[in-house]
Structure 1
């Protein structure tokens, strides 16, 4: 006959105001650092920033998009008497103005970091995105230049990995920096693939 083990009284979760017990692994998570503290990765080194001139590229793109959409909405409203087009145009105009206000801060949030085995890329203010791309998985490294970026001496560095969904683009690099970074990444990718 086995001895009877006392069972502690647990609160009835069906009672109003009663909370369920906290699982052991969740209770331990209180000692973990905040997610934002982990994502800053202060121990990995200094983040490289994109050129400050890239703000102008983004501002011009936002203005052009706003003019095209608002112009089309205005034509629909004036010529075809479509009232909904007026509200769409106003909404796009307000969203574009808000976007223009936050554009400099958003550009400053873009950065990349070359680590021992991968390239780490980040962007975003409210919704931050961090992508780590292993050097050995890089398959294509491409430099693209739009008309405004070319006029400012800037370029975008795009690379595609074995998983096509993990492609990353680093915008707003000075042309010389983009070319040297491309050559460095090609060299690192070839050395990592040769070591596989």
Structure 2
């Protein structure tokens, strides 16, 4: 499949904040670490054979390592490009996704930051459009960049919608 399918015609991609990668790695380590512990600890407590306990623990550690190694690849797959009349958002490694949001179709632009995002000083920008199918989100932006993007998108959306 052509790489041109997932590139805007002339603009360059804007990447996410490097702090988002750190947040994703920590989230993966904690989430998968807890899941591995939930699987392995009861086996040790009930006195399961040592080999079974070691295999379950090793599988858990392998999954955590795999998830940590994958995070930079997933991180680099994300990007967005602002054009005159629309916003391009790309993501995905195995299943690549390109979302094009015309500014005139935007109804609202939301900025979100959960507890872990606030700790790592990143925010997400979510676009609400006239389509019920739209799920356009740009995660992992610096809060200042997210606020500026929200303001630019809102202004462009109002300008484009006024022409309808």
On whether the aligned pair clears a TM of 0.5, the verdict is yes
- Give the paired residue count: 162
Answer yes or no: is the 8 Å Cα contact 2:8–2:81 preserved in 1: no
* 1:111-141 CA distance string (max 9 Å, x none): 0001122110011223211111111221221
- Partner residue in 2 for 1:131: 99
* 1:144-189 CA distance string (max 9 Å, x none): 1123322332111111222232111111111110000001111111
Is there any run of 5+ residues in structure 1 with no aligned partner, and where? 1-34
Distance 1:71 1:37, change over 3 A: closer
Is there any run of 5+ residues in structure 2 with no aligned partner, and where? none
Distance 1:142 1:86, change over 3 A: farther
* 1:39-87 CA distance string (max 9 Å, x none): 2436321111111121100001101111221122124434567899987
Distance 2:149 2:85 in 1: 15
Distance 1:148 1:195 in 2: 40
Higher mean alpha-carbon deviation, 109-118 vs 91-100, is at: 91-100
Distance 1:136 1:90, change over 3 A: farther
Report the RMSD for the aligned CA atoms in angstroms.
2.5
After TM superposition, the score normalised by the length of structure 2 is: 0.84
Q: Does 1:53 align with 2:57?
A: no
Distance 1:85 1:133 in 2: 50
- Greater C-alpha radius of gyration: 1
Distance 1:58 1:109 in 2: 14
